[in-house]
């Protein structure tokens, strides 16, 4: 079901400051993207072996806002795995008693691919995203 780690997301209080900090450390940083349906602004840090996603609260209904209230300096927010078939993954998660977040169909993520999230309480305290790459 899980093919590889796609990215690890870090919530930050100031996306521009965080992106510039990593640029000064020699890291390739993508252009910012606004994802209103997810309530975040994001950039990706590109490394040879993994991507890090920096996320900042966007909009009043951002699910990241409550995380930032508890962690004002930021911190690891979620991990994302690539899967071959998101529908099959959703069924497997539900069969295993793992709650899928949201109101139905997957949403489109920052890479333009469908994604879904599993409840952190069901995966050892880790908010987990599953992405079906094209």
Q: CA 96, CA 106: separation in Å to the nearest integer?
A: 19
Q: CA 134, CA 123: separation in Å to the nearest integer?
A: 26
Query: Which positions are catalytic?
Result: 129
The residue count for the chain: 134
Task: Give the chain's end-to-end CA distance (angstroms, integer).
Answer: 16
User: How many CB atoms within 10 Å of residue 9?
Assistant: 23
Q: How many secondary structure helices (H) and strands (E) does the chain include?
A: 3, 9
């Amino acid at each position: 079901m899980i093919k590889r780690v796609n990215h690890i997301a870090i919530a930050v209080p100031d996306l521009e400051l965080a992106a510039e900090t990593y640029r000064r450390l020699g890291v390739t940083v993508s252009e910012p993207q606004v994802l209103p349906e997810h309530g975040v602004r994001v950039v990706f840090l590109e490394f040879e072996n993994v991507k890090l996603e920096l996320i900042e609260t966007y909009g009043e209904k951002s699910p990241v806002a409550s995380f930032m209230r508890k962690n004002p300096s930021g911190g690891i927010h979620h991990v994302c795995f690539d899967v071959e078939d998101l529908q099959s993954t959703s069924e497997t998660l539900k069969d295993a008693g793992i709650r899928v977040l949201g109101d139905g169909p997957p949403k489109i993520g920052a890479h333009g691919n469908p994604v879904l999230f599993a409840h952190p309480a069901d995966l050892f305290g880790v908010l987990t995203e599953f992405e079906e790459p094209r």
